[in-house]
Amino acid sequence: MSIRKLPSFPPHSISRRSFGKYAAIGGSSLLLGGCGLQLSGKFTASDTHSNDYPTVLAVKHFGKLLEQRTAGKLGLQMYAGGQLGNERDTLEITTFGGLDFNRVNLAPLNSIEPLTIVAALPFLFESTQHMRTTLDGPIGDEILASLEQHGLIGLCFYDSGARSFYNTRGPITKPEDMAGLKLRVPGSDLYVAMVKSLGADATPMPLDEVYQSLAQGVIDGAENNWPSFESGRHYEVATYYSLTQHLLAPEVFVMSKISWDKLSSKEQSILRQSAKDSVPHMRQLWDTQVAKSKKIVLDSGVAVNEVDPAAFTNLMTGMWDQFITTNKQRELVDKILSMRTGGI
């Protein structure tokens, strides 16, 4: 009798809210059975963002390529807007094969796989180009491959721009301005430490709770890129956006290893190639969306300010060593630094 090794997800229970959403589309019994939903004969995919967000459009584009290249045998049904739950919950469901695909940020993977921490370090990438070149090559492939032991097939990275702080109180120009601010972060110890290193308080919380928490004063601010700041309507309540640009961490597109293992090797290679081919398309969508979101935010009267990055860089890179604890992580960080054109 063969015993299937379960993915090494850290202790966590799927929230009742996510489980309810998931069960509503017929997933509860399948969750226990550990096989993909395959409603209407199609693979299922989850994304926290709304239907017109670049990550969602890119995954749909991937689905079309897959359908064309397999003469309609394989296709995809997207559940956008967090319909099936938050990223952490849906990731766990994906590892158990209850969902076939998931597009998430690196943050929820940080507690699962140490190599994902590398690409999520603040002020590591000097530019979008540096991030793209690094992750398009062997370093990116190594990080994606590290997910397999956790029940996930890493397919590709997507752009996520630069994350900066926004809040309801006033402009942040130096770390001292952040003292006492209560800032939302995704559920990742790395993010908590980043915010603490600047002297603010960190509150981990799923993305879909941020708008209301800002409006009710439960938190003073958060950090994210232009498109998320805009599409979540956070700019309507947090009217100060301070361009710290501390993180250029990418998004990741993953597949359940359980679903993957059911495919022939020919189908697997078509699928992998289709994911890679969706990346240039996503980058175009992304650049267009950043420009659109910027305009909406600026037109709304949000006070946007530049910062002198030096003080932020010193404090935030000062905490790298807490998280870079293995030789492999160190090796990748050193390689990434050596690929900077502006020097280390």
Say if residues 185 and 194 touch (Cβ distance below 8 Å).
Answer: yes
The closest of 160, 117, 314, 188 to 248, measured between CA atoms, is 160
Asked if 105 interacts with ligand GTR (CB under 6 A), we say yes
Shortest Å distance, C-beta 160 to ligand GTR: 5
The residue count for binding ligand GTR (CB under 6 A) is: 12
Residues 6+ apart with CB under 8 A from 180: 200, 201
Whole-number Å distance between alpha carbons of 115 and 146: 7
Kindly tell me which residue out of 91, 104, 181, 270 binds ligand GTR, with binding defined by CB under 6 A. Answer: 104
Q: Which stretch binds ligand GTR (CB under 6 A): 13-21, 119-127, 221-229, 316-324?
A: 221-229
Shortest Å distance, C-beta 81 to ligand GTR: 12
Pairing of strands 101-105, 163-167: unpaired
Q: Using CB under 6 A as the criterion, what x/- string covers residues 32-71 for binding ligand GTR?
A: ----------------x-----------------------
Shortest Å distance, C-beta 223 to ligand GTR: 8
And the tokens for 156?
A: 């590709």
Asked if 228 interacts with ligand GTR (CB under 6 A), we say yes
Shortest Å distance, C-beta 68 to ligand GTR: 27
The closest of 109, 25, 108, 101 to 59, measured between CA atoms, is 101
CA atoms within 13 A on the CB side of 289: 24
Q: Which stretch binds ligand GTR (CB under 6 A): 103-111, 121-129, 254-262, 297-305?
A: 103-111
Q: Which stretch binds ligand GTR (CB under 6 A): 76-84, 223-231, 259-267, 274-282?
A: 223-231
And the tokens for 210?
A: 């941020």
Restricting to residues 154-173, name those near ligand GTR by CB under 6 A. 160
Asked if 143 interacts with ligand GTR (CB under 6 A), we say no
Say if residues 90 and 102 touch (Cβ distance below 8 Å).
Answer: yes
Place of tokens 């050596």: 338
Query: CA 293, 297, 302: angle at the middle one, nearest 5?
Result: 160
Q: Using CB under 6 A as the criterion, what x/- string covers residues 289-308 for binding ligand GTR?
A: --------------------
| Beta bridge pairs of residue 165 | 223, 242
Asked if 82 interacts with ligand GTR (CB under 6 A), we say no
Whole-number Å distance between alpha carbons of 211 and 238: 9
Asked if 224 interacts with ligand GTR (CB under 6 A), we say yes
Q: Give Cα separations from 190 to 154, 222, 251 (angstroms).
A: 21, 15, 16
**Residue closer to ligand GTR, measured from CB, 104 or 152:** 104
**Which residue sits closest to ligand GTR, CB atoms considered?**
105
* Residues within the interface to ligand GTR (CB under 6 A): 48, 87, 104-105, 107, 160, 186, 207, 224-225, 228, 251
